[in-house]
Chain A
Amino acid sequence: MATRSLRGRLTWTFAVGAAVLSTIFAGLTYFGVRHIIVVSRQASDLQQAYVNAALVRSALSQDPASLPSLLTSLDAATTSSSLVRLGSTWIEGTTVADPETIPAAFRGSGTEVIRQVVIERNVPVLIIAVPLPAVRATYFQRRELADLNGTLNRLLGIVALGTLFTSGLGAYAGRRTTRRALAPLADTAQAARLVAEGDLAVRLPSDAPHSEVATLSAAFNEMVEQLVRRLDRDARFASDVSHELRSPLTTLAMSAEVLRLHEADLHPDAREALSLLTTDVATFQALVEDLLDIAKTDAGTDALVNEVLPLNELVSQCVMSATRRHQLPPTTLNSELPCECYVSVDRRRFERVITNLLENAYRYGEGQVTVTLLANDGGVEVAVDDNGPGIAPAERERVFERFYRGSGASRRGNAHGTGLGLALVSEHVKRFAGRVTITESPLGGCRMVVWLPTVEAGSE
């Protein structure tokens, strides 16, 4: 069974609680009223039986021949059936009564008034026996209680309807109440989602200072404040460290370059050491550049300079620039766009996105990389395919985290990057109101897809 939401469970609890309480009250009401009605009715019938018995006794004493007509008139007047037993003689009032319907327990020569409610053909019948010792007879009265059953049926129907109505009312009240009571939780969940998506400016209102909700809001806001302070501190630290490292690194790189000019004069072992040094310094410089870039993004200090640019031309220039600057192999560029599409991006950052994706594809692929432009979902896609081992579906979200090393990183190649390349791609694309995803590539490896919204040419 699917797990119900908290609101669903609370509503259900309200409904069940209302149903249980209303059922208890309805049951008490029904049985109480039924007891009163039945007792009252039986008392009334007993009184009637006493009156009839007195009349029968009088008739038997004075004029026995008048007894049959007396019983008939009694039956007509009281809607009951009367019988009189004189030894083995039964005298009936109407054809409805029958001595056979008198239970055997009533046929003894008792000296006390007895009564019993029995069921005859699904109808309750009250039988009363009044002994008349003065005339050595017994008077029996049979009274069908079908009308009483009808009354009780109607009463039960009303009570059941009341119970249903109360249960429904309880469910409705529960739903209304829980909606209001749980609204702050929904707000908190929404705020948490926004924070998770990077909106660190979001805060919860705390307009009821002494309520539990206000305590929750204050705790949430405090948590976000702490998070923001921590992120600021980390960004500042990364920025400061990068700044401090950049100058000595530049010196180191220049020194290595000077040494490279005299590479021919060096001993072979020294040449190899210089080669390793040059490579590592370049990697180190790239890492510092990435760190600085990402620190600026986190701190929000690097303002975007968006321009509306034709995508075909922009991607072509970026691919050429990346190929030249990073000495990458030639990359095939395909366009499947039906017409010229324009996007609003910061040129420098978009070039960084393309460069990082190409570097990533060449680093972890087997050498074949293509860039394809497609129209999709009201925007355009820049798909970078490689023929490497691909990325497992479970890791496709996480490779955009900073310094994330997936299980396939070593499998996908011996080379290693800074661990910030794809994180920067994700950050920049988000700032262009786009998204980046990973799918299977038709080349057999992975396909990095950057989706961007299109804009009208010439718009700002």
Chain B
Amino acid sequence: MSRLRTPALALLAALLLSACTLVPTDPSPRTVNSVEVPSGLLNGAGTKQSATVSLWFYDAEHQLVRRTARIPAPLTISTLVKRLALNVPSGLSTALSPTIAMSRAVVRGSEATIFITAGFHSGDTVNAMAAMEQLVATMRDNYGIETLNVTDVANGRTLTIDSAAP
């Protein structure tokens, strides 16, 4: 028994020592008292109700043309995609399907990745590229995006386009 005691104590000491060396962690998120937060940061004063954005559509010659519109804030990629798919100005057309749906978009510097869950047929190369060109032009104007990745979540396929293409 005493033969086991020394290694057990050494192990316990080593565990305690290693535990001591770590910055203490939190088992769950801790709320910061709002009094300690700079005033104005957490309130909605000055909330912007709408924003002016650039949207790109196809004309009769299948050329991309730019249009501006006001959309409700905040300006999200999801809002832009819906707008491009559903609110097409008269005389123009869109390559995006009205059923298009996305789970999330990630903007990293000048590169954006959109995860499409429905309404995007990556197998149909012509339509897919047309939609990609329309999207990257819109993203370039509103987010400064240079490269756009569109991932079709259904088949895991990712298409990439540079903003210089259109």
Chain A interfacial positions (CB closer than 8 Å to B): 30-31, 34, 38, 46, 50, 53-54, 57, 60-61, 64-69, 72, 86-95, 99, 103, 105-106, 111-119, 124, 129-137, 145, 148-149, 152-153, 156, 160
Out of A46, A86, A115, A145, name the residue touching B75 (CB < 8 Å): A86
* Chain A CB within 8 A of B108 CB: yes
Given contacts A64-B51, A72-B109, A90-B106, contact A132 B23 (CB under 8 A): no
CB A45 to nearest CB in B, in angstroms, measures 11
Interface hit among B39-47, B60-68, B91-99, B153-161: B39-47
A90 touching B24, Cβ below 8 Å: no
A118 touching B26, Cβ below 8 Å: yes
Q: CB-CB < 8 A to A115: which residues of B?
A: 26, 29-30, 32
Q: CB-CB < 8 A to A106: which residues of B?
A: 29
CB A372 to nearest CB in B, in angstroms, measures 54
Number of contact residues on B: which range applies? 35 or more
Out of A68, A99, A130, name the residue touching B41 (CB < 8 Å): A130
Complex: A117 Cα to B24 Cα, angstroms: 7
Complex: A90 Cα to B74 Cα, angstroms: 13
Complex: A65 Cα to B38 Cα, angstroms: 26
A149 touching B144, Cβ below 8 Å: no
Given contacts A54-B38, A72-B109, A136-B73, contact A88 B24 (CB under 8 A): no
* Chain A CB within 8 A of B127 CB: no
B31 touching A65, Cβ below 8 Å: no
- Which one of B47, B76, B77 has the highest number of Cβ atoms from chain A below 10 Å of its Cβ? B76
Q: CB-CB < 8 A to A53: which residues of B?
A: 41
B107 touching A61, Cβ below 8 Å: no
A86 touching B76, Cβ below 8 Å: yes
A92 touching B107, Cβ below 8 Å: yes
Per the 8 Å Cβ criterion, residues 61-115 of B in contact with A are 73-79, 102-110
Out of B31, B48, B109, B143, name the residue touching A112 (CB < 8 Å): B31
Interface hit among B3-11, B14-22, B129-137: B14-22
A61 touching B42, Cβ below 8 Å: no
In terms of DSSP, what is the predominant structure of the interface of chain B? Answer: loop
* Chain A CB within 8 A of B37 CB: yes
Q: CB-CB < 8 A to B17: which residues of A?
A: 156, 160
Given contacts A86-B75, A115-B29, A133-B42, contact A68 B106 (CB under 8 A): no
Nearest neighbor of A65 in chain B, beta-carbon distance: B144
Q: CB-CB < 8 A to B144: which residues of A?
A: 65-66, 68-69
Nearest neighbor of A37 in chain B, beta-carbon distance: B23
* Chain A CB within 8 A of B141 CB: yes
A89 touching B104, Cβ below 8 Å: yes
Pull 20 A–B residue pairs with CB atoms less than 8 Å apart, ordered by A: A46-B36, A54-B38, A60-B75, A61-B48, A65-B143, A67-B143, A68-B108, A68-B109, A87-B79, A88-B78, A112-B31, A112-B32, A113-B31, A115-B26, A115-B30, A133-B42, A149-B21, A152-B21, A153-B21, A160-B17
A116 touching B104, Cβ below 8 Å: no
B74 touching A117, Cβ below 8 Å: no
CB A193 to nearest CB in B, in angstroms, measures 36
A61 touching B46, Cβ below 8 Å: yes
Complex: A111 Cα to B108 Cα, angstroms: 25
A119 touching B25, Cβ below 8 Å: yes
Q: CB-CB < 8 A to A160: which residues of B?
A: 17
Q: CB-CB < 8 A to A133: which residues of B?
A: 42-44, 47
* Chain A CB within 8 A of B34 CB: yes
A134 touching B78, Cβ below 8 Å: no
B74 touching A114, Cβ below 8 Å: no
CB A69 to nearest CB in B, in angstroms, measures 7
A89 touching B73, Cβ below 8 Å: no
Complex: A46 Cα to B46 Cα, angstroms: 23
Out of A61, A105, A132, A135, name the residue touching B29 (CB < 8 Å): A105
- Which one of A30, A60, A89, A133 has the highest number of Cβ atoms from chain B below 10 Å of its Cβ? A89
- Which one of B103, B105, B142 has the highest number of Cβ atoms from chain A below 10 Å of its Cβ? B105
* Chain A CB within 8 A of B125 CB: no
Out of B26, B43, B78, B141, name the residue touching A89 (CB < 8 Å): B78
B104 touching A88, Cβ below 8 Å: yes
Q: CB-CB < 8 A to A72: which residues of B?
A: 109
Nearest neighbor of B114 in chain A, beta-carbon distance: A89
Q: CB-CB < 8 A to B38: which residues of A?
A: 50, 54
Nearest neighbor of B38 in chain A, beta-carbon distance: A50
CB A87 to nearest CB in B, in angstroms, measures 4
Complex: A105 Cα to B107 Cα, angstroms: 22
Complex: A57 Cα to B77 Cα, angstroms: 17
CB B162 to nearest CB in A, in angstroms, measures 16
Q: CB-CB < 8 A to A136: which residues of B?
A: 47, 73-74
Complex: A68 Cα to B23 Cα, angstroms: 31
B48 touching A89, Cβ below 8 Å: no
Q: CB-CB < 8 A to B48: which residues of A?
A: 60-61, 134-135
Q: CB-CB < 8 A to A148: which residues of B?
A: 23
Q: CB-CB < 8 A to A91: which residues of B?
A: 106-108, 143
Given contacts A86-B74, A89-B77, contact A145 B23 (CB under 8 A): yes
Given contacts A86-B76, A112-B34, A114-B29, contact A152 B23 (CB under 8 A): yes
Complex: A91 Cα to B41 Cα, angstroms: 19
CB B117 to nearest CB in A, in angstroms, measures 11
